[in-house]
A and B are shown apart, each in its own frame.
Chain A
């Protein structure tokens, strides 16, 4: 999805001369076009994420709109304090692009893959959090980032081959991908691909009608939209993030807040609270964490067969 990001950034940068792209020496074969078009507005600070956020903060405090880019855990975890103190607390227009997320970096290991980023960042007040699952979703969240002048984070994984939307997303309502009365599924990020395929297969093979809703924005949360979208008594959330503080927590607390009198059965499929240091392809890592298509199907079938 980083090509979606770069292309959109180029489009916006033509209109807005205040936009700067700062990288800590990553983005080779992605940012060349931007750098050529706007050589003064492309800054490679070198391999120094802490300083990158400091420079970004100083420039944003001087009226610039900043996009910083690195491999996700490097910019988020190494620079968490700089993000918190310099950017979030001072409400600066710095947009953090974290490349990868979840098992996107596959065999590169736990230094590059993340299971905790969304949970950790969600606890920072005043930081918007986006986790697009397709090219059109990426365009949608980027639009809001270009419009806003507030701190933002986006987990930018690889784009799936196909898109799941028939047209451009203009409103949260467009995020309801399939309709159905058997089960409501919420998902986020590029695991959407597996969830979508599982839902599609189950409809074809078993005739299940599932309502699938993708949430590319996890903060601020549109709780009312979430609650309004639930039209079944069974609700499932699926995410490539740890089971603490992610999408599952968002759905659970929304349900608790607004629907505590109604009988809703809720399950969450997410990464366990363990050290995810197994080596393998993204498919393999998803499989051992129960996030492959077959297992998602199994969990849905089991949930649908449960009687309450």
Chain B
């Protein structure tokens, strides 16, 4: 129990640190998608520091992860940085710079820990299912994770893959929906309603758990529960808040687009603390 609490403390600490870095780097680099990064950083931290098998030195033995909502690339780069795939200096030099290796959407680069490219919504879940299928064929126990957005679930390919993964019982596939209920023009229920989302996936023969996507303990418990059930692919519907931690960004779809000026940056740091 003590060990578990220690782990939770560690992940919460990392997540808090990375939230500040999201604001710092986005401000310095004039990056968009801050709200998206804050929405999923807790999920990424839980996965990368509490659940996935990741070892920088043995990348071919690792679990795989696809950041299907590629626009939140910065939060992904930050967890990779924390895993020492590269340094903070490297991140600052390469992120959104001319001839840099870390673009606004991630490009596949095994050495940097990026298992696959993304940027066009919907594709990550399909590629992840292909990887999961290959692991099964090779009789390996590795898992494949894909983090997808809720707006992304409008894409037809998501449902093609939902059928495929259910049919092939890909229980080594874990899809996490960052369910902040906001997309391009506003709220998902007004643009293209996903509900009832849980029972939709259940009817596609998936294991589904819905939980608080900012509570590390609940995220890890849900992933473990999903992992204990076999013969079905796994979906974690993570209830999240876009712009989490920065009051004036929370639940605002504008935080998808907004670039921080100095005033807003100072306010956001204050809000985070």
Contact = CB atoms under 8 A, between A and B. Distances in A.
A50 B161 CA distance: 9
Looking at chain A's contact residues, is the secondary structure mostly helix, strand, loop, or mixed?
Answer: helix
Interface string B133-145: 1110110000010
A63 B164 contact: no
Interface string A245-272: 0000000000000000000000000000
B149 to A, nearest CB: 17
A54 B127 contact: yes
Nearest to A43: B133
A86 B171 CA distance: 23
B134 A58 contact: yes
Contact of A58 (B119, B126, B167): B126
A85 interface: yes
- The interface size bin for chain B is 20 to 34
B46 interface: no
Interface string A52-77: 01111111111110000000000000
Contacts of A45: 160, 164
A101 B49 CA distance: 50
A81 interface: yes
Interface string B98-131: 0000000001100000011101101101111111
Nearest to A24: B160
Contact of B127 (A43, A46, A57): A57
Contact of B117 (A43, A51, A89): A89
**Residue with the highest number of chain B CB atoms closer than 10 Å, among A46, A82, A86, A90:** A86
A51 B135 contact: no
B39 to A, nearest CB: 24
B156 interface: yes
A218 to B, nearest CB: 26
B128 A61 contact: no
Interface of B: 107-108, 115-117, 119-120, 122-123, 125-135, 137-138, 144, 156-157, 160-161, 163-164, 167
